[in-house]
Amino acid sequence: MKRYSAFAVAREALRNNTGWERAWASPEPRKKYDVIIVGAGGHGLATAYYLGKNFGITNVAVLEKGWLGGGNTGRNTTIIRSNYLQDASAAIYEKARSLYEGLSQDLNYNIMFSPRGVMMLAQTQGEVRGFERTAHANMLQGVKTEFIGPERVKQLVPIININGPRYPVLGAIWQARAGTARHDAVAWGYARACSDMGMHIIQKCEVTGIEQSGGKVTGVNTTRGSIGCDKLGVVVAGHSGHVADMAGFRLPIESVSLQALVSEPIKPCMDVVVMANTVHGYMSQSDKGEMVIGGGTDGYNNYTQRGAFHHIEETVRALVETFPMVARLKMLRQWGGIVDVTGDRSPILSKTPVENMFVNCGWGTGGFKAIPGSGWGFAELMAKGHSPLTEAFGLNRFYEGRFIDESVAAGVAH
Amino acid sequence: MLILTCPCCGVTGEETEFHGGGEAHLKRFGPGSTDEAFHDYLFSKVNPKGVHLERWRHNNGCGKWFHAARDTVTLEIYGTYPAQTTEPPQSVKDAITAKRPGWSWREFA
């Protein structure tokens, strides 16, 4: 792999850009791999990358039914933060956030991480107390957040209306080192690094069955033939239930559509991410100038990747209330992704009833921010059988009633 | 936008008039059951890519609960039927079979 650098840009400028090579290879699948990862989204590719980097396992295939990063990795609102209440959540999300800080250098691929700060507004007394509690918990966890008053909110976000008619802004929890990154670049960067380690990324290869023998996984059936493996990692977000069904067990997961929209591009007007959970809206401005807006989930199971129309109205209504200037904006595009929501709204990184088969799912509405941490922990779980990062996220917690009591992946605003 | 017909009051309305209540025809397990059965009842979801039998409430209407057979991929409503049943009526099953031959949902088909 040729490294990307300022020197490479200069060199290619002199030879009419003829020297760039493909970022990753598209090989034919082998008969067997040590590890197969199903799903070439951010979490799947990150898992493969850390299997190679941290554990030297490079005989790995990442299978993808569509195209690389075309699922929720390319459909989210790119927010990265780690201001969670519970220790288990804070640990894995903070690991992810800290890895994001150095990821461009690590992958030699510009993922455009922008630590611009994330603010979650407190608009009721209950939220004020909740966020103060979270800020205190974060202090103990070593996650740098602070609770700020309405004047500071207005100073950081001049376009906000802090004296709203229904819910005036009473304060906010502010994580200055949180921010956004280019979602596609995260998938592409990991893919390029995986391919460089000799891993196979096989697109347009849908898994249609799981081969087992004596309660152990032995391979997968795909639209490009049968492929053997020693270990199988299923990282397919909204389709996790569907793949688990092939292996003969059920997951505590329901799939729903979550939507997002962007406005026409405008001049820079807001350089932080703002979430208003009480009125259900959140917004940030992309580098292109579009206002990126997160919508709500549908109220029923579905696999449609579009989202119910009336949720757009609810989201936009909330934003107009919080940022009056939004009323003058035209919306450009709207889309949806299928999110996998678990019984306690926290992710699952776990062994399964089938030996040597692992699942990484349930990230629901908030998976993008966790990609590097999730890949790091899940790779350790697959390689060693246990990981301190994923310990609390096992499937057994649903049997034991040991839930992670916070809405990591609640309906909106994550 | 889903269009549902409430079998209780007969009104046909858009989804904003109704509220989804999740998977239908659950067999309930409580105190005295095994951990396994209680877990499956509470958390193990069918979550199918296709036919889904589910509960709905006409909350901005007559307020009554009912059942619906819906497709999670096409969002087509195959039919609605009263809450006081343990499986869908034959007419609803036929409507599903016409569009999805060979479908199954738990023990029904």
pLDDT score recorded for residue A341: 92
Q: Can you list the domains of chain A with their CATH numbers?
A: 29-109+183-253+344-400 (3.50.50.60), 118-178+255-342 (3.30.9.10)
Q: Residue A301 is nearest to which of B39, B44, B47, comparing CB atoms? A: B47
pLDDT band (50, 70, 90) for residue A412: very low
Whole-model pTM over 0.80: yes
List of chain A residues whose C-beta atoms are within 8 Å of the C-beta of residue B36? 399
Return d(Cα A169, Cα A121) in angstroms, integer.
7
CA distance B23 to chain A (A): 9
CA distance B69 to chain A (A): 12
ipTM of this complex: 0.92
Mean pLDDT, residues A373-399: 96
**Nearest chain B Cα to A307, which residue?**
B1
Q: Of A264, A276, A268, give the one whose Cα is nearest residue A322.
A: A276
List of chain A residues whose C-beta atoms are within 8 Å of the C-beta of residue B44? 250-252
pLDDT band (50, 70, 90) for residue B108: confident
pLDDT score recorded for residue B109: 61
**Polymer length of chain A:** 414
Chain-centroid distance of CA A159 in Å reads 28
Chain-centroid distance of CA A171 in Å reads 27
pLDDT in tens, A248-299: 999 999 999 999 999 999 999 999 999 998 888 899 999 999 999 998 889 9
The answer to whether the beta carbons of residues A240 and A251 sit under 8 Å apart is yes
Residues in Cβ contact with A299 at an 8 Å cutoff, skipping those fewer than 6 apart: A256, A308, B15, B19, B20
pLDDT score recorded for residue B64: 97
Mean pLDDT, residues A107-136: 95
| Binding-face residues of A in 240-279 toward B, CB within 8 A | 241-242, 245, 250-255
Q: Between chains, do B47 and A255 touch, taking CB under 8 Å as contact?
A: yes
pLDDT in tens, A66-113: 999 999 999 999 999 999 999 999 999 999 999 999 999 999 999 999
The answer to whether the beta carbons of residues A236 and A303 sit under 8 Å apart is no
CA distance A307 to chain B (A): 9
Size of interface A-B (CB pairs under 8 A): 63
pLDDT score recorded for residue A407: 67
Interface test with A, best of B45, B56, B80 (most A CBs within 10 A): B45
pLDDT in tens, A167-198: 999 999 999 999 999 999 999 999 999 999 99
Mean pLDDT, residues B53-61: 96
Return d(Cα A366, Cα A345) in angstroms, integer.
10
Beta partners for A219? A211, A228
Q: What is the mean pLDDT of chain A?
A: 94
| A402 in reach of chain B (CB within 8 A) | no
Q: What residue ranges do the domains of chain B occupy?
A: 3-99
Return d(Cα A42, Cα A153) in angstroms, integer.
32
Q: Is the pLDDT of residue A163 over 70?
A: yes
Q: Of B66, B92, B89, B88, give the one whose Cα is nearest residue B79.
A: B92
The answer to whether the beta carbons of residues A257 and A305 sit under 8 Å apart is yes
Residues in Cβ contact with A233 at an 8 Å cutoff, skipping those fewer than 6 apart: A35, A36, A37, A38, A44, A47, A358, A359, A360, A378, A382
Residue type, A20: W
Q: Residue A300 is nearest to which of B20, B40, B48, comparing CB atoms? A: B20
**Candidates 3.40.50.300, 3.30.450.20, 3.30.2270.10, 3.50.30.30; CATH matching B3-99:** 3.30.2270.10
Interface test with A, best of B34, B47, B52, B66 (most A CBs within 10 A): B47
Return d(Cα A108, Cα A95) in angstroms, integer.
20
Mean pLDDT, residues A349-377: 96
**Nearest chain A Cα to B14, which residue?**
A310
pLDDT score recorded for residue A409: 45
Among the residues of A82-223, which ranges form H helices? Answer: 87-107, 125-141, 150-156, 183-196
**Nearest chain A Cα to B55, which residue?**
A300
Return d(Cα A132, Cα A168) in angstroms, integer.
17
pLDDT band (50, 70, 90) for residue A413: very low
Q: What is the mean pLDDT of chain B?
A: 93
Measuring CA to CA, how many Å separate A320 from each of A166, A265, A295, A332, B22?
12, 17, 13, 16, 32
Q: Is the pLDDT of residue A410 over 50?
A: no
Helix, strand, or coil (residue A406): coil
Chain-centroid distance of CA A11 in Å reads 35
Tokens of B72: 């999670």
With residue A332 as reference, give the H or E element that holds it: strand A331-342
Mean pLDDT, residues A207-222: 96
